[in-house]
């Protein structure tokens, strides 16, 4: 995805050929004998100040990809560059500096926030870890961040359980922006919230992006939300991107059979329930033994000669999007 | 068993009338339902929508006797389920109704299945409890109904334990179980909330197809208005334990009247241009230990007038669409409360 238009803006995140697997069983020496193949060759680029959405059904590797990007899941193959620098390969001071440039917000702020710490400590903790600030300075900074995310400064001494789910997500966001990151990874940030509160949080994230030029990677199962929030979208299936490109284009006129299925199934005010045959529901194939050929083969209704070969993500000649299917590429 | 009581309007599966209910707690009574009326015709698919905690589950659980005994108080109203007054029935009478007359599907199918018993046995047990059939016939019925739910190898699945199935499969087994005794009413309480959209779409279709074919009435509870719009003939919008609007699905969604319904639709990203600000609803649902006086939506409502603070609006309007709001329907003709906001 490094076309001339795209290089006009500096990429903040570049992922190339990323593979992440987890040991699934071990022999008596403790060596892994089989693996769960969670991410199987992902390439993506997110430009400064833009948002990339990742969609796909549960278990397809979205969270693992997010964790690998921010350094929480080690990988053996591929590369993740933040601001042009290799994070996993970095050492010492450089690594710490890179770590400050990216933050993550999870779905459930309840479990990601230490229940015993008052809100001002939670918000300023990443700055505290960075060091060099007095308690008074940290408190002052926390106040500033609280206001930026729409929390009341007089609530800073409360504990997280005294807040509603939406307010706790504001706390998580304040904490994430405390180090002035370039990249924010948002893993289903509003999935546990009611829609009226989701709207508040989405508005806040968009406002912070406008004000601070933040770059977002949004993981979501909500196609309508991704269409609203993101410039680009990548659709994942079994640890691979099967289609990517400008969000409105891909989501309006999907070209990969899986994206078409996903969109036909998404709840909609405009269309009636799809026919069962149209949805091609099925389970994700086992990710301990990856299938040969196209990963989507078992569920695809368009299967034809050529699908036995492994498919590559390739740019379509007539559009700005990439698709991993020989039929769409033809 | 399914004979209809004499006073019952024809074609009615469930009639909840003016039901009020509270949960006594240490800090006082949680007023979970206030004057809730819902009616479901035979063979009708009816949705209940609203954000979490607004009383969707409590309404249907109260109507089917599923709330924990001794933990709640009915402070008013009646329920008629195919002519049975469920509020005054004892446990064994209710047990008889469940499965045969009404069946509920919940969000988390794992809790509703016994983890130590194979799927087939659980299905045939339910069937044999309610139908006069022997084990062989029960097994055949079970197999057919699993096939109906698009479960590929019903025989194999019947020999599995619940944990050996994916979430989507378990949910389909539960729907099969719910339909297995041909109940007159199925209550589906957020049955697809934890599932992927592809599996969700299939399950909605299966429920719809089977309900239409067998004439089963369905109450579909969801916080997802788009899903309800695709499945339901009519819908009820709940807010803080009250019905604020109901009517034909198309009418309510295309011309919502109540300020809460309007706000609920406007805060969705579906209908807004990319990156534009969504119309969030300020504030949060009121605490039902001390609900505000008057209209419960008043603290968050842009249109509130003085009257909203002191008096509770009642549902008004024709049957096609009713709204509980002082500034809608007949009440709109009240003189503007000049500058009293
Ligand atoms: N720590 C882990 N150990 C083993 N397997 C894992 C681990 N984390 C994720 N997986 C597996 O990797 C696959 C992708 O999971 P995940 O990234 O969580 O998917 P998603 O976020 O898209 O739902 C799944 O099969 C999951 O079971
Ligand atoms: N056993 C209980 N004790 C006290 N309050 C309860 C109990 N069950 C439900 N409630 C309260 O009743 C209200 C309605 O809950 P519920 O019907 O579960 O909402 P919904 O299904 O719409 O999300 C909520 O405020 C909830 O906290
Ligand atoms: S390569 Fe073949 S199996 Fe794969 S998505 Fe395309 S048509 Fe379907
Ligand atoms: S009654 Fe008043 S406060 Fe309630 S919804 Fe109508 S206008 Fe708003
Ligand atoms: Mg995930
Ligand atoms: Mg509920």
Residue extents of the structural domains in chain B: 258-341
Residue of A nearest to B272 (CA): A228
Q: What is the CB < 6 Å shell around ligand 1?
A: A 22, 36, 38, 56, 58-64, 287
Q: What is the pLDDT of residue B254?
A: 95
B223 touches chain A (CB under 8 A): yes
Q: What is the pLDDT of residue B109?
A: 63
- When CB atoms are compared, the residue of A265, A268, A272 closest to B198 is A265
Q: Is the ipTM reported for this complex over the cut 0.85?
A: yes
- A5: pLDDT strictly greater than 50: no
Q: Based on the number of CB atoms within 10 Å of its own CB, is B309 exposed (0-12), middle (13-18) or buried (19 or more)?
A: middle
Q: What whole-number distance in Å separates Cα of residue B156 and Cα of residue A145?
A: 57
Q: What whole-number distance in Å separates Cα of residue B154 and Cα of residue B161?
A: 13
As a whole-number percent, the residues of chain A with pLDDT over 70 amount to 97
**What's the pLDDT band for A7 if we cut at 50, 70, 90?**
very low
Among B208, B234, B213, smallest CA distance to B14 is for B234
- Half-sphere exposure for A260 (CA within 13 Å, toward CB): 15
Residue of B nearest to A58 (CA): B196
Chain A neighbors of B250, CB-CB under 8 A: none
- Residue A29's SS3 state is coil
Contact B274 A194 (CB under 8 A): no
The partner residues of A217 in beta bridges, in order of sequence, read: A52, A185
Residues with CB under 5 A from ligand 5 (ion): A 63
Instruction: Assess contact for B199 and A281: CB atoms under 8 A.
Output: yes
How does pLDDT run along chain B (341 residues), one tens digit per residue? Answer: 444 344 455 689 999 999 999 999 999 999 999 999 999 999 999 999 999 999 999 999 999 999 998 999 999 999 999 999 999 999 999 998 988 899 999 887 667 889 999 999 999 998 998 888 999 999 999 998 888 777 878 999 999 999 998 888 888 898 888 888 889 999 999 998 888 899 899 999 989 998 999 999 999 999 999 999 999 999 999 999 999 999 999 999 999 999 999 999 999 999 889 999 999 898 888 999 999 999 999 999 999 999 999 999 999 998 789 999 999 975 444 444 443 33
**A275-293: per-residue pLDDT in tens?**
988 887 677 788 999 999 9
pTM of the full structure:
0.91
- A179: pLDDT strictly greater than 80: yes
Mutate which of B225, B253, B275 to test chain A, going by most A C-beta atoms within 10 A?
A: B275
Average pLDDT value for chain A: 92
Backbone angles phi, psi at B339, to 5 degrees: 60, 15
Q: What whole-number distance in Å separates Cα of residue A188 and Cα of residue A218?
A: 7
Q: What is the pLDDT of residue B219?
A: 98
Q: What is the pLDDT of residue B136?
A: 95
Q: What is the pLDDT of residue B166?
A: 84
Q: Going by C-beta distance under 8 Å and a sequence separation of 6 or more, which residues neighbour residue B89? A: B65, B97
Among B277, B274, B273, smallest CA distance to A229 is for B274
**A22-78: per-residue pLDDT in tens?**
999 999 988 999 999 999 999 999 999 999 999 999 999 999 999 999 999 999 999
**A66-96: per-residue pLDDT in tens?**
999 999 999 999 999 999 999 989 999 999 8
Sheet bearing A32-47, strands edge to edge: A32-47, A11-26, A77-82, A85-86
Chain A neighbors of B264, CB-CB under 8 A: 195-196
Among A216, A136, A140, smallest CA distance to A176 is for A216
Instruction: Assess contact for A231 and A53: CB atoms under 8 A.
Output: no
Contact A273 B267 (CB under 8 A): no
Backbone angles phi, psi at B185, to 5 degrees: -140, 130
Q: Kindly state the tokens that stand for B284.
A: 């949060």
């Amino acid at each position: 995805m490094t076309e001339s238009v795209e290089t006009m803006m500096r990429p903040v995140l570049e992922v190339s050929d990323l593979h992440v697997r987890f040991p699934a069983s071990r022999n008596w020496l403790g060596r892994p004998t089989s693996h769960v193949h969670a991410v199987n060759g992902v390439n993506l680029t997110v430009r400064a100040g833009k948002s990339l959405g990742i969609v796909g059904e549960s278990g397809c590797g979205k969270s693992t990809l997010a964790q690998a990007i921010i350094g929480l899941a080690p990988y053996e193959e591929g590369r993740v560059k933040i601001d042009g620098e290799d994070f996993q390969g970095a050492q010492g001071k450089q690594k710490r500096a890179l770590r400050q440039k990216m933050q993550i917000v999870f779905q459930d702020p309840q479990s990601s926030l230490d229940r015993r710490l008052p809100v001002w400590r939670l918000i300023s903790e990443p700055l505290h870890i960075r060091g060099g600030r007095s308690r008074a300075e940290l408190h002052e900074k926390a106040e500033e961040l609280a206001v930026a995310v729409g929390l009341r400064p007089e609530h800073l001494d409360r504990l997280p359980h005294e807040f509603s789910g939406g307010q706790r997500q504001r706390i998580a966001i304040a904490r994430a922006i405390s180090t002035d990151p370039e990249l924010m990874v948002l893993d289903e940030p509003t999935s546990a919230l009611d829609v009226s509160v989701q709207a508040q949080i989405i508005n806040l994230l968009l406002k912070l992006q406008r004000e601070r030029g933040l770059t977002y990677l949004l993981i979501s199962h909500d196609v309508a939300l991704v269409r609203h929030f993101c410039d680009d979208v990548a659709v994942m299936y079994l640890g691979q991107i099967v289609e990517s490109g400008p969000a409105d284009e891909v989501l309006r006129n999907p070209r990969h059979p899986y994206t078409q299925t996903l969109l036909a199934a998404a709840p909609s005010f405009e269309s009636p329930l799809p026919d069962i045959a149209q949805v091609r529901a099925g389970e994700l194939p086992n990710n301990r033994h990856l299938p040969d050929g196209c990963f989507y083969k078992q569920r695809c209704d368009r299967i034809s000669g050529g699908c036995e070969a492994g498919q590559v993500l390739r740019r379509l000649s007539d559009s700005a999007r990439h698709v991993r299917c020989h039929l769409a590429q033809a | 068993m399914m004979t209809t009581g004499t006073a019952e309007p024809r074609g009615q599966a469930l009639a909840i009338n003016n039901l009020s209910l509270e949960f006594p707690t240490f800090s006082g009574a949680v007023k979970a339902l206030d004057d809730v009326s819902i009616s479901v015709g035979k063979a009708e698919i009816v949705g209940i929508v609203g954000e979490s905690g607004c009383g969707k589950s409590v309404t249907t659980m109260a109507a089917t006797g599923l709330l924990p005994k001794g933990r709640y108080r009915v402070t008013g109203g009646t329920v008629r389920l195919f002519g049975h007054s469920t509020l005054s029935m004892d446990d064994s009478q209710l047990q008889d109704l469940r499965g045969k007359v009404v069946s509920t599907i919940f969000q988390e199918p794992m809790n509703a299945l016994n983890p130590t018993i194979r799927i087939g046995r659980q299905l045939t047990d339910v069937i044999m409890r309610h139908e006069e059939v022997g084990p062989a016939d029960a097994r055949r019925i079970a197999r057919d109904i699993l096939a109906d739910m698009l479960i590929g190898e019903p025989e194999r699945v019947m020999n599995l334990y619940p944990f050996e199935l994916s979430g989507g499969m378990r949910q389909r087994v539960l729907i099969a179980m719910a339909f297995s005794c041909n109940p007159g009413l199925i209550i589906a309480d957020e049955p697809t909330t934890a599932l992927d959209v592809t599996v969700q779409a299939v399950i909605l279709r299966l429920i719809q197809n089977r309900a239409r074919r067998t004439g089963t009435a369905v109450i579909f509870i969801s916080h997802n208005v788009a899903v309800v719009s695709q499945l339901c003939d009519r819908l009820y919008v709940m807010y803080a334990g009250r019905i604020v609007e109901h009517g034909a699905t198309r009418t309510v969604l295309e011309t919502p009247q109540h300020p809460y319904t309007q706000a609920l639709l406007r805060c969705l990203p579906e209908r807004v241009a990319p990156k534009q600000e969504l119309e969030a609803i300020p504030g949060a649902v009121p605490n039902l230990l001390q609900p505000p006086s008057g209209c419960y939506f008043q603290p968050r409502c842009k249109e509130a007038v003085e009257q909203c603070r002191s008096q509770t609006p009642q549902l008004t309007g024709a049957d096609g669409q009713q709204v509980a709001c002082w500034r809608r329907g007949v009440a709109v003709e009240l003189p503007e409360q000049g500058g009293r906001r």
